[in-house]
Amino acid sequence: MAEASKVSVKLFHPKSIFQLILVSFALVVLPLIAALLYAASSVDRLAAQSQQVITHAVKASETGQKLLEQITVMERNLRQYQVLADDILLQVYEANRDKFIETLASLAELPLPEALRQRVNQLAWDETDFYARVQEHKNDLRSLDVSVALSVLDKQAQQILLQSQQLIDTEVANTQAEAEQTQHNLFWLIAALVPAMLLLVAFLVVVINRPLRRLDDGIRRLGAGDFSVALKLDGPRDLEQLGERLDWMRGRLMEVEADKKRFLQHISHELKTPLTTLREGSELLAEEIPGALTSQQREVVELLQQNSLQLQKLIEDLLTYNTATRDAVLNLQSLRFDELVRDVVDEYKLSVMARRLWFEVELAEVSVVADMAKLRVIIDNLLSNAVKFSPNKGRIKVGLSSEADYAVLDVQDQGPGIAPAQQEKIFEAFYQGTDAYISHVNGTGLGLSIVWEYLHAHGGMIEVVDEGLPGAHMRIQLPLSQENLLR
Residues 465 and 410: beta-carbon distance below 8 Å: yes
Decide if pLDDT at 129 tops 90: no
Q: What is the DSSP letter of 347?
A: T
Read off the amino acid at residue 309: L
Of 259, 293, 320, which closes a domain? Answer: 320
Q: Residue 256: give the domain boundaries.
A: 237-320
192 and 293 fall within a common domain = no
Read off the amino acid at residue 316: E
Residue 264 and residue 270: Cα distance in Å, rounded?
A: 10
66 and 6 fall within a common domain = yes
65 occurs within a structural domain: yes
Distances (CA, A) of 230 to 250, 289, 301: 8, 61, 54
pLDDT value of residue 434: 53
Residue 381: which CATH number?
Answer: 3.30.565.10
109 occurs within a structural domain: yes
pLDDT value of residue 267: 67
Per-residue pLDDT, averaged over 402-413, amounts to: 91
Query: For 299-328, what is each residue's pLDDT tens digit?
Result: 777 777 667 766 766 666 666 666 655 555
Residue 242 and residue 251: Cα distance in Å, rounded?
A: 14
297 and 349 fall within a common domain = no
434 and 364 fall within a common domain = yes
54 occurs within a structural domain: yes
| SS3 state at 359 | strand
Decide if pLDDT at 436 tops 50: no
- Taken in order 50, 51, 53, 54, the sign of the CA dihedral is positive
216 occurs within a structural domain: no
Q: Which residues contact 198 (CB under 8 A, 6 or more apart)?
A: none
Residues 286 and 302: beta-carbon distance below 8 Å: yes
Q: Provide Rg for the chain, Cα atoms.
A: 52
Q: What angle do CA 477, 480, 484 make, to 5 degrees?
A: 100
242 and 152 fall within a common domain = no
148 and 285 fall within a common domain = no
More confident residue, 172 or 369: 369
130 and 271 fall within a common domain = no
Decide if pLDDT at 368 tops 90: yes
pLDDT value of residue 426: 77
Query: For 55-114, what is each residue's pLDDT tens digit?
Result: 877 887 888 888 888 888 888 888 887 778 778 888 888 898 899 889 888 888 888 888
Per-residue pLDDT, averaged over 450-454, amounts to: 84
400 occurs within a structural domain: yes
Stated pTM of the model: 0.46
372 and 480 fall within a common domain = yes
Query: For 146-200, what is each residue's pLDDT tens digit?
Result: 777 778 888 888 888 888 778 777 777 777 787 788 778 878 878 887 787 788 7
222 occurs within a structural domain: no
252 and 200 fall within a common domain = no
* φ, ψ (nearest 5 deg) of residue 376: -65, -40
166 and 148 fall within a common domain = yes
482 and 353 fall within a common domain = yes
Residues 81 and 90: beta-carbon distance below 8 Å: yes
Considering its fold, how many domains does the chain have in total? 3
- Cβ-based neighbour number of residue 479 at 10 Å: 20
- Cβ-based neighbour number of residue 362 at 10 Å: 11
Return mean pLDDT, the chain.
Answer: 78
224 occurs within a structural domain: no
Of 285, 320, 355, which closes a domain? Answer: 320
49 and 104 fall within a common domain = yes
Residue 8 and residue 199: Cα distance in Å, rounded?
A: 14
Residues 93 and 82: beta-carbon distance below 8 Å: no
Per-residue pLDDT, averaged over 320-348, amounts to: 79
156 occurs within a structural domain: yes
